[in-house]
């Protein structure tokens, strides 16, 4: 009986030897395959291709904008996989599913995964002042490459797609940001513009008034203006511009200026009235005018122009006692310039001016004082 069993076993082995060998080979291949897959999965993975870089702006002043959201999600996914978090839970974590916080043991694994990638950094350099054709480097750095699921590596990309920048000449700047003058020939004020962002285009000159036709003014561009140009895709090598004053009208050509001058004679008579003790003799000498801008002379806002017209007088003052003295004064008015170019002669809108409290005896000193205040001699035909 025993010999029969041995025979049957030998017969079974002989019959199925090939099958057993084949089965053993399959198992071996499967084991080796699993080992290879496990080895592959345990190796750090490349994420540099996931870094998205967009180039924006203008050639020479471009910027590299990096969208790290996609690559950060990839890094988290790889870390979660390495610590054994299921695919279902990974999807929930990446989507911000709040229910993930209630799953037992998941928080510990998440913390473990976060520690694995805490030393991973992604840098893009350079990111500013780029021009087409420049090379930008994307670098993935890993502090603990032996444990991290992320592979340290780098790649380079070429900058492209930046817009061409527009070059502005001096004439371009003056055309786009014109300088104007307010007032009249000899007493005009300069009006400087702001750019689209509200920056001053030109530096304020040392003198802002008393400009005449034919004057040439050198204005320096502000740094703020030139920097703001770059944001619009423009630049200029111009540092200063030259502006010529022209087309200013004369105060003498104002339609009702003669009446304004006549008002000065009426004013001095009201201020120096004769009495039983004192008499005055007045002689009109010269008439002067100047202008002022009452609000925001340097800005683009609407301005109100005032015209000052005064007359100098020689005054002889005699006392009843026989004493007398001679001195010089000026009197006049400040007028608002109306939209039609005439003076507002409404007495409610006129403001008298003069030096009735001082009595200079040298007319040249009085004239010099007026000229220092911006007055110019006015001659009306």
Confidence of residue 251 (pLDDT cuts 50, 70, 90): very high
Q: How many CB atoms lie within 10 A of CB 340?
A: 6
Q: Is the dihedral of CA 290, 296, 301, 304 positive or negative?
A: negative
Cα 248 to Cα 187: distance, rounded to the nearest angstrom: 10
pLDDT over 90 percentage in the chain:
58
Name residues whose C-beta falls within 8 Å of residue 262's C-beta, 6 or more positions apart in sequence.
none
Q: How far apart are CA 313 and CA 265, in angstroms?
A: 9
Return the residue matching tokens 């797609």. Answer: 161
pLDDT confidence bin for 26, thresholds 50/70/90: low
pLDDT in tens, 177-230: 999 998 899 889 999 999 999 999 999 998 777 899 999 999 999 999 999 998
* More confidently predicted of 297 and 70: 70
Integer angstrom CA distances of residue 288 from 174, 308, 335? 33, 8, 14
The answer, yes or no, to whether residue 34 has pLDDT greater than 80, is no
Average pLDDT of the residues in 99-126: 87
Look up the pTM and report it. Answer: 0.61
Task: Look up residue 256 and give its DSSP letter.
Answer: T
Q: Does residue 100 register a pLDDT over 60?
A: yes
Work out the mean pLDDT of the chain and round it to a whole number.
86
Least confident of 34-38, 101-105, 166-170, 338-342: 34-38
Mean pLDDT of 238-242: 97
Question: Is there a contact between 154 and 49 (Cβ–Cβ < 8 Å)?
Answer: no
Strand spans (E) along the chain: 52-56, 63-67, 120-125, 135-142, 153-158, 166-167, 180-182, 189-191, 216-220, 234-235, 240-244, 278-293, 305-319, 324-336, 351-354, 376-377
Q: Which residues of 69-103 are buried (b: 16+ CB within 10 A; e: fewer)?
A: eebbebbbbbbbbbbebeeebbebbeeeeeebeeb
Contact in structure between 48 and 140 (CB atoms under 8 Å): yes
Say yes or no to pLDDT of 11 above 90.
Answer: no
Indicate the pLDDT class of residue 104, thresholds 50, 70 and 90.
Answer: confident
Confidence check: pLDDT of 299 > 60: no
Asked whether the predicted pLDDT for residue 32 surpasses 70, the reply is no
What are 39-95's pLDDT values in tens digits?
A: 445 578 888 888 889 999 999 889 999 888 888 888 888 888 888 898 888 888 888
Binning pLDDT at 50, 70 and 90, where does residue 298 land? very low
- Position 10 scores a pLDDT of 54
Structural contact between residues 258 and 380, judged by C-beta atoms closer than 8 angstroms: yes
In this predicted structure, what is the pLDDT of residue 366?
95
- Of residues 374 and 19, the one with the higher pLDDT is 374
């Amino acid at each position: 009986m025993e010999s029969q069993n041995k025979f049957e076993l030998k017969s079974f082995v002989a019959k199925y030897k090939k099958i057993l060998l084949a089965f053993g080979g399959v198992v071996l291949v499967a084991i080796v395959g699993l080992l290879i897959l496990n080895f592959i999965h345990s190796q750090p993975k490349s994420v540099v291709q996931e870094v998205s870089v967009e180039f924006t702006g203008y050639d020479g002043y471009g910027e590299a904008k990096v969208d790290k959201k996609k690559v950060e999600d990839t890094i988290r996914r790889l870390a979660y996989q390495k610590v054994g978090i299921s695919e279902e839970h990974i999807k929930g974590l990446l989507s911000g599913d709040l229910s993930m916080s209630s799953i037992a043991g998941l928080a510990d694994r998440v913390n473990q995964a976060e520690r694995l990638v805490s030393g991973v950094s992604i840098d893009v350099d350079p990111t500013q002042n780029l021009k087409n054709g420049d090379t930008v480097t994307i670098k993935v750095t890993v502090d603990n490459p032996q444990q991290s699921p992320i592979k340290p590596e780098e790649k380079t990309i070429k900058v492209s797609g930046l817009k061409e920048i527009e070059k502005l000449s001096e004439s371009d700047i003056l055309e786009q940001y014109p300088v104007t003058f307010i007032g009249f020939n000899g007493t005009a004020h300069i009006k400087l513009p702001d750019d689209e962002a509200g920056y001053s285009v030109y530096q304020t000159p040392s003198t802002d008034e008393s400009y005449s036709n034919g004057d040439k003014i050198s204005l320096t561009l502000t740094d703020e203006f030139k920097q703001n140009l770059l944001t619009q895709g423009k630049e200029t090598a111009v540092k200063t511009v030259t502006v010529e004053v022209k087309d200013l009208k004369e105060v003498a050509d104002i339609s009702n200026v003669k009446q304004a001058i006549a008002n000065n004679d009426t004013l001095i008579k009201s201020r120096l009235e004769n009495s039983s003790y004192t008499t005055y003799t007045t002689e009109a000498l010269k008439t002067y005018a100047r202008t002022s801008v009452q609000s925001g002379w340097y800005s683009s806002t609407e301005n109100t122009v005032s015209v000052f017209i005064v007359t100098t007088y020689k005054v002889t003052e005699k006392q009843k006692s026989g004493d007398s003295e001679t001195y010089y004064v000026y009197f006049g008015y400040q007028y608002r310039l109306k939209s039609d170019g005439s003076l507002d002669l409404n007495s409610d809108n006129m403001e008298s001016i003069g030096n009735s409290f001082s009595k200079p005896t040298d007319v040249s000193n009085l004239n010099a004082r007026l000229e220092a205040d911006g007055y110019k001699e006015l001659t009306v035909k």
